[in-house]
Amino acid sequence: MHVIIVGGGIGGLALAAGLRRHGFEVSVFDRDRDVAETAGYHITLDGRAQAALRELVAPEILERLLRSASALRLRDRDALWDRRGHLLAFGPRLEDNPGVDIDRITLRTVLADAVGPDLHPGWTVTGIARAADGAPSAVFADGAAHQGDLLVGADGAHSMVARYLAGGPTNEPTGIIGFSGRTGAEHLSAAERQRLGARSGMAIGPHATALYIGFLDPVGNALLDAPAGREAITTGPTYIWGAMFPESSATDAMRTLRGTALRSALLTAFGHRGWSRHTLEVIDRAEPSSIAAFRFNAASPRAQDLAPWAAGSVTALGDAVHATPPTAGMGAGAAIRDAASLVANLRAVASGTTTLPVAVSSFEAEMRIRGSETLVAAMRTVRWMRATDTRLGAAVTATATPVLAAAHRLGRRHRADRPAAEARTGDRVRRHG
């Protein structure tokens, strides 16, 4: 069976690697000329995404990825701050968390190596054609076509393939826009470095403003003690942040800016919404060329709305079907798990135990559930952000967060006092006993 994959992003490359590993013929076409020319943020892969990768790639490829990953369990607990930098709460303990963080560039580059010459960079697919027997072809701008038995759209949130199948867009803007960037910890003041710590966190403000700050350190927090084989592009403690705002004509204008002009505009936009200057140091000290805008698009979180087409010899996976805002950090993991599911179903076709339409239908049914789960998780944050953009929501956020911060400080002081008080009580108990 020959499988054509439109899109060599995370999902398309994971699928191609898995298909090759199990003896399928595969051709991947991606419009990017170089796989390393991809966004500079990091990807969190949970235990399920890693298990799927283990199915898809050869052990030596997985080893290369894990050598370049940092372990979530080595990070301090996540934090929630207000716009003045006051701590509101800590997230759950991470000691038992099996998740890993990896540079997106490293993930894509290593997966591309697993696909080898079957990846065709610099090829933009512009349409789909069908032979008389229904066999699908990818069509290119110059009219050339490449035919296969199955065509898979792994072409991301603005998928041409999913649009062809669904007869229209499969997702829509959420009304939130994100700007991400990278800041080496060594560029921050000692005070800010200490406040942020070796943890990821989120700062919230009124009017749907938020600042996610992810901590990535594939060296200090390396998953494996294997410095020789490390391919991470991040070589020291780094904060990878995402500034979030409601979409408006002002954010449209910001999207046209680059480098230091965009960085200044972000600082001004937060300043107008009452954010303390010191909490924005991570933006102020960012590498200007790393700053980029991402519009948060989302598909429907209802499983029955996803992949709304009859199963056949053209299908799609990943963001093409269940485009997910990055607020849950699960989109790439879901695309990888889609790929593992499709490979498993196609292997059943190859072994003669099922037919292609049945295998594709079973894969799409599994993907609907997975996509819905991912979207429900990601939309929780988006909905909550949008709620702070009403007059009431903004007032509640502005008044409630200082109270929460004070409650957290008091709680900490109480916990700090408690051991001493308990020791004194213990002394008394022992003396009286």
Cα 429 to Cα 415, 420, 422: the distances in Å are 21, 14, 10
CB of 308 to ligand FAD, least distance (A): 18
CB of 7 to ligand FAD, least distance (A): 3
As a whole number of Å, the CA-based R_g of the chain is: 24
- Position of minimal CB gap to ligand FAD: 9
Closer to ligand FAD by Cβ: residue 301 or 318: 318
Residue 364 found at the interface with ligand FAD (CB under 6 A): no
CB of 316 to ligand FAD, least distance (A): 9
Residue 331 found at the interface with ligand FAD (CB under 6 A): yes
Residue 363 found at the interface with ligand FAD (CB under 6 A): no
Degrees, nearest 5: CA angle 149-343-22: 90
Distance, in Å, from the CA atom of 168 to the CA atom of 160, rounded to the nearest integer, reads 9
Residue 270 found at the interface with ligand FAD (CB under 6 A): no
Closer to ligand FAD by Cβ: residue 330 or 394: 330
Residues numbered 30 to 49 that lie near ligand FAD (CB under 6 A) are 30-32, 41, 43-44
Q: Which stretch binds ligand FAD (CB under 6 A): 110-118, 259-267, 324-332, 347-355?
A: 324-332
Q: Which stretch binds ligand FAD (CB under 6 A): 113-121, 152-160, 193-201, 266-274?
A: 152-160
Question: Starting from the edge strand earliest in sequence, which strands make up the sheet with 125-130, in order?
Answer: 125-130, 136-140, 145-147
| 37 residue type, one letter | E
Distance, in Å, from the CA atom of 82 to the CA atom of 79, rounded to the nearest integer, reads 10
| 139 residue type, one letter | V
Residue 18 found at the interface with ligand FAD (CB under 6 A): no
- How long, in residues, is the chain? 433
**Percentage helix, strand, coil, to 5, in the chain?**
45, 20, 30
Taking CB under 6 A as the criterion, the residue among 24, 29, 239, 275 binding ligand FAD is 29
Residue 98 CB contacts under 8 Å (≥ 6 apart), including other chains:
46, 47, 50, 72, 73
Distance, in Å, from the CA atom of 417 to the CA atom of 160, rounded to the nearest integer, reads 60
CB of 57 to ligand FAD, least distance (A): 15
By CB under 6 A, name the binding residues for ligand FAD. 6-12, 29-32, 41, 43-44, 124-125, 154-156, 160, 180, 242, 294, 318-320, 324, 326, 329-333, 335
